[in-house]
Amino acid sequence: MYEQHLIRRIEAFPLAEFVTMARECGRLEIDATLRADAARLYELIRGFRADVSFMSEEAAAMLDLAERFLYGEWFIAEHGFANYPSYIGLAMVKCALGVHLRDDFRRGWEKCKTCMHILLNDLLSYEVSSLAGIFPWYPDHRMESVMRNRIAALNDLRTSLAAPSQGAVPIVSSGILSWSQYAEKGREHLALRHLTALPVSCEHDEYFFMRVLQMSECCFWGALSAVIAAIEATKFDCLEEAMAHMEQALEFLDFLQPITQVLKTMPPEHFWAFRDATDGSSAIQSRWFHLLHIYLHGLDERKVSIYADIPEISDLIHYGKPGFVSLRSLLRDFAPHATPELETFAEIASRLDASLYAYRCIHLGIVHRFLPPDAKQGTGGTSGIPYLRKHLTRRLWPLESEYPQPDLEELNALDIFQPLVGVGN
Ligand code: HEM
Measured in Å, residue 193 CA sits from the centre of ligand 1 at 24
- pLDDT reported for residue 160: 79
Strands (E) in 182-266, as ranges, are none
pLDDT at 167 over 70: no
Residues with CB under 6 A from ligand 1: 212-213, 216, 260, 263, 271, 282-284, 286, 289, 363, 366-367, 370-371, 377-382, 384, 387-388, 391
Q: Are 94 and 214 in contact (CB under 8 A)?
A: no
| pLDDT(418) > 60 | no
CA-nearest residue for atom 32, ligand 1, is 283
How far, in Å, CA of 237 to CA of 233, rounded?
Answer: 7
106 Cα: distance to centroid of ligand 1 (angstroms): 29
Maximum Cα–Cα distance across the chain: 66
pLDDT at residue 87 in the model: 96
Measured in angstroms, how far is the CA atom of residue 72 from the centroid of ligand 1?
Answer: 20
Mind listing the pLDDT tens digit for each residue in 344-376? 999 999 999 999 999 999 999 999 999 877 777
State the distance from the centre of ligand 1 to the C-alpha of 364, rounded, in angstroms: 8
Three-state secondary-structure class, residue 203: strand
User: In 3D, which of 212, 199, 203, 207 has the Cα closest to residue 264?
Assistant: 212
* 363 CA distance to ligand 1 middle (Å): 7
Q: Which amino acid is at 411?
A: L
What value does the mean pLDDT take over residues 208-213?
A: 98
CB-count exposure of residue 169 (10 Å: 0-12, 13-18, 19+): buried
* Nearest protein Cα to ligand 1, atom 30: 213
Atom 1 of ligand 1, nearest CA residue: 370
> What's the gap in Å between 379 CA and the centre of ligand 1?
9
Residue nearest to atom 23 of ligand 1 (CA): 367
Query: What pLDDT sits at residue 168?
Result: 43
Return the best residue to mutate from 363, 382, 383 for the ligand 1 pocket (most ligand atoms within 8 A of CB). Answer: 363
Ligand 1, atom 39, residue with closest C-alpha: 284
Three-state secondary structure of 40-76? HHHHHHHHHHHHCCCCCHHHHHHHHHHHHHHHHHHHH
213 C-alpha to center of ligand 1: Å?
A: 10
Q: How far apart are CA 223 and CA 293, in angstroms?
A: 10
List, for residues 46-81, the tens digit of each pLDDT value: 999 888 878 888 889 999 999 999 999 999 999 999
Given pLDDT bands bounded at 50, 70 and 90, which one contains residue 402? low
